Amino acid sequence: MATEGSRFVWRELMTGDVARAVQFYTRLFGWKTEVMDMGTMKYTIVKNGDKQVGGIYQTPPEARGTPPNWLGYVSVDNVDGACEKAVKLGAKIMMPPMDIPNVGRWAVLADPQGAAVAPFRGNQAPQPTPTRAQPGEFCWDELMTNDVAGAVKFYTQLFGWAAVEHDMGAHGKYTLFKKQGTEKDQNVPGLGGAMAMPKDAKHPPYWMHYIEHADVDKGAAMARELGGQMFVPPTDIPNIGRFSVFADPTGAHFALYKNAH
């Protein structure tokens, strides 16, 4: 039910305060916005230059009480089939498959540990994955979970990903998701990662989405000035990059990132 190229193709923010979120992200990343009337709701498209990179919308009444969060969409061949398989693997359907007129079909799942992810099939083929994300573009997707082994089993079976474990020393073990058959090829980029949540974490399992920034330290300082809450200060990942983890002023988690290469 997964497509040969199952990967994250879209991210969207559900929040209780769209105006505040838009003000924060547009100033932090220089994003532009375009509001679309979807009939039952308004949907804000965010653009990095002329490129659409994500969306923002108001938490609907039926989801009231759900914390603000960024949701990642993963491309699949068959959304309904992916949902059926996910349930057999221990997932719960948060929103059943439905069509987005002129866009595609999607659903929302909670994996066996509770992290949300959206299988998606667009009406058009997804754009090729850029070899390098530009500042203002989403560049990485990382699962924070309380059961790495269980999560790895779920995602490799659902999306056909391969998993490669890396020892990060003081940072613990990190699982890299890759396309099947590319596990040993260092030139093929990963599709995402997974790591154990800190034992004292108060947030339930979730996918955290990284956004490229030209200068993580300056970005982190600006994010704090704009009302963001810093969880991880600017930190180097040896030979990989520099990152910092925040909650935006409405409470949604995300990470700033700059590639070291």
The CATH number of the domain holding residue 46 is 3.10.180.10
Q: Is residue 235 part of a domain?
A: yes
Q: Is residue 232 part of a domain?
A: yes
CA-based R_g, the chain, Å: 17
pTM of the prediction?
Answer: 0.93
Domain identity same for 147 and 238: yes
Domain identity same for 168 and 113: no
Domain identity same for 191 and 113: no
CB 191 within 8 A of CB 207: no
Domain identity same for 48 and 108: yes
Q: Is residue 1 part of a domain?
A: no
How many other CB atoms are found less than 10 A from the CB of residue 130? 11
CA 111 from centre of chain: 14
Asked which of 67, 89, 122 is the last residue of a domain, the reply is 122
Domain identity same for 52 and 88: yes
Domain identity same for 211 and 102: no
pLDDT value of position 127: 67
Domain identity same for 56 and 162: no
pLDDT value of position 129: 67
Q: Is residue 3 part of a domain?
A: no
**In the block, which residue shows the tokens 């992810």?**
117
pLDDT value of position 245: 97
Asked which of 95, 122, 149 is the last residue of a domain, the reply is 122
Give strand ranges (E) for 172-240: 173-179, 192-196, 206-212, 229-237
Q: Is residue 66 part of a domain?
A: yes
How many other CB atoms are found less than 10 A from the CB of residue 48? 20
What residues make up the domain containing 19? 8-122
Q: Is residue 130 part of a domain?
A: no
Domain identity same for 97 and 153: no
Total domain count for the chain? 2
Spatial separation of the C-alpha atoms in residues 47 and 65, rounded to whole Å: 28
CA 246 from centre of chain: 14
Domain identity same for 34 and 89: yes
Spatial separation of the C-alpha atoms in residues 153 and 163, rounded to whole Å: 9
Phi, psi of 169 (to 5 degrees): 65, -120
Domain identity same for 114 and 149: no
pLDDT value of position 201: 78
Below-50 pLDDT ranges, the chain: 1-3
Asked which of 122, 156, 191 is the last residue of a domain, the reply is 122
Q: Is residue 133 part of a domain?
A: no
Mean pLDDT in the chain?
A: 92
Domain identity same for 102 and 45: yes
pLDDT value of position 2: 47
